[in-house]
Amino acid sequence: MNKIDLHMHTTISNDGTYSPETIIQMCHEAGLEIVALADHNSTKAFRIAKPIADAYGMKLIPAVELDCHIDRINLHVLGYGINPNHPAFDAYEEEILTQERNSSQFVVNKIRELGIHLEDEALNRVQIHGVITGEMIAEVALEDSKNDNNELLVPYREGGSRSQNPLVNFYWDYCAQGKVAYYPIQFRTIDEIIQMINDAGGFAILAHPGNNIKTNVDVFKKIIDKGVIGVEVYSSYHSPEVIEHYHALALEHDLIMTLGSDFHGKTKPSIHLGKFNIPDEKQLTERFIAQIK
């Protein structure tokens, strides 16, 4: 177990399982000392969790994970050291939630067109903030006996090729950018998002680049030219080869390196808080902590 985890989600993200209070309790039980709740486009968790973290003697970094795009590629940018009460975050959260609510029925209909049975009542039970995500659709579909013999769902069932994180894998396979049930949300540009983070007194770190841009060096250079000053080198999604790739790029471009599990709970059951096995995590994050101060 490591002592630092700078990327996790609560129920304030519509794909998180645990409340801010519960997440902090779990972090304490896991022996974490420095943590960040980086919910999607929202800083609300920090306001709830801060007094609980303080009571445990845990350092809670104000953070947020913001959706944006560059060259039509969707990205996640982490903002750290921000003022969590900056009004721009609440405004952007509502902007994205409104679009996601409007997109939910489109996504459901596209999955039904593939021949996957979905009950409206079951979908309504799992929706959060009026949003139905791909992960929620997967959960409902896999639990419905009418889908027991559906070949499309075999990879997500126990023992299947996509069963390690079945719910989020279903989302990536069917609902992510470029997939059959993708609905284009109008995210702001990376320039606007970095400006939002800077205006709130924070700094921008590129989240899990291996997920969004793979190992594309040209796109990565465009991103850091926009004002991102660090990269989440150590992520639950990164293979040793991808870690080595971004570690080298971080050194080459003098970037801050961070580590984050991207823990969500049931949507990503193979991901656990603080499990990175990075022996030099304190040295790795010294520059990050200095930037926060």
Which CATH class for the 4-84+189-292 domain? alpha beta
Which pLDDT band, with edges at 50, 70 and 90, does 276 fall under?
confident
Provide the 3-class DSSP secondary structure of residue 208: coil
Rounded mean pLDDT of the chain? 96
pLDDT of residue 282: 86
Record the pTM: 0.94
pLDDT of residue 279: 74
Task: Characterize 13-42 residue by residue with b for buried, 16 or more Cβ atoms within 10 angstroms of its Cβ, and e for exposed.
Answer: bbbbbbebeebbebbbebebbbbbbbbbbb
pLDDT digits (tens, 9 = 90+) for 34-70: 999 999 999 999 999 999 999 999 999 999 999 999 9
CA-CA distance, 20 to 25, in Å (whole number)?
9
In the chain, which residues fall in CATH 3.20.20.140?
4-84+189-292
The C-alpha R_g of the chain, in whole angstroms, comes to 19
Is pLDDT at 192 greater than 80 in this prediction? yes
pLDDT of residue 196: 98
CA-CA distance, 259 to 154, in Å (whole number)?
33
